């Protein structure tokens, strides 16, 4: 199966995952392309992180066309190096489904996942990830590593990157600029 790296890419698996019961109403409620609509929810989470003086990264997880988990980076507040947006959302999604297997889920995150989060996504068997801004310093999907495409691992993740990249990236740029200023 072809692995997508553009916003145009869709796959049969992804189409299937989006064919949820709640999908129609969400589609009506939000504007833009499907990936952009959900990424905007992740962006809201990222803004919540910025408001808490945390590096602004946000994530949401969908199952059956509805949001079952959302989280943002809370590394400072929780004094926890693992408290990345994706990790918090994965834990929440697993609790919501009562299973560590998140095989029917799609994860949206505003920043390219790091090696820890990509590892957790693989462990959770998440089939699809949509991410926003590339992370040249820690990205493990295409920037530094390509963990989701690594055939040595027993699970592969379809991924679509650079969705609302400018919005996702500028949130981070502004945050660090303010920190320095
Ligand atoms: Zn991470």
CA of 115 to the centre of ligand 1 (A): 7
Please give the structure tokens belonging to residue 143.
Answer: 């920037």
Q: What is the mean pLDDT of residues 145-170?
A: 96
**How does pLDDT run across 41-58, given as a tens digit for each residue?**
999 999 999 999 999 999
- Which residues hold their Cβ within 5 A of ligand 1, which is an ion? 84, 114, 116-117
CA of 86 to the centre of ligand 1 (A): 6
CA of 136 to the centre of ligand 1 (A): 13
Q: Which residues of 112-125 are buried (b: 16+ CB within 10 A; e: fewer)?
A: bbbeebbebbbebb
Percent of the chain exceeding pLDDT 70 equals 82
pLDDT for 126: 97
Taking alpha carbons only, the member of 52, 42, 51, 106 closest to residue 76 is 52
In terms of DSSP bridges, do strands 58-63 and 66-72 run parallel, antiparallel, or are they unpaired? antiparallel
**How does pLDDT run across 26-37, given as a tens digit for each residue?**
444 445 678 999
Q: Could you tell me which residue, 181 or 89, shows the higher pLDDT?
A: 89
Please give the structure tokens belonging to residue 162.
Answer: 């650079």
pLDDT for 136: 97
Three-point CA angle 173, 179, 180, nearest 5°: 90
């Amino acid at each position: 199966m072809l692995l997508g790296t553009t916003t145009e890419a869709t796959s049969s698996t992804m189409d299937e995952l989006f064919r949820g019961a709640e999908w129609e109403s969400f589609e009506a409620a939000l504007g833009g392309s499907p990936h952009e609509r959900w990424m905007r929810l992740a962006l809201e989470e990222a803004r919540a992180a910025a408001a808490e003086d945390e590096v602004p990264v946000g994530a949401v997880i969908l199952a059956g066309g509805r949001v079952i988990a959302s989280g943002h980076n809370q590394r400072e507040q929780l004094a926890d190096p693992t408290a990345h947006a994706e990790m918090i959302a994965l834990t929440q999604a697993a609790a919501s489904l009562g299973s560590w297997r998140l095989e029917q889920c799609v994860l949206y995150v505003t920043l390219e996942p790091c090696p820890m989060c990509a590892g957790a996504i693989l462990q959770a068997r998440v089939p699809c990830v949509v991410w926003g801004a590339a992370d040249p310093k820690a990205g493990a999907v295409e920037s530094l590593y390509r963990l989701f495409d690594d055939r040595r691992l027993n699970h592969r993740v379809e991924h679509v990157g650079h969705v609302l990249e400018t919005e996702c990236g500028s949130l981070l740029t502004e945050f660090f600029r303010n920190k320095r200023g």
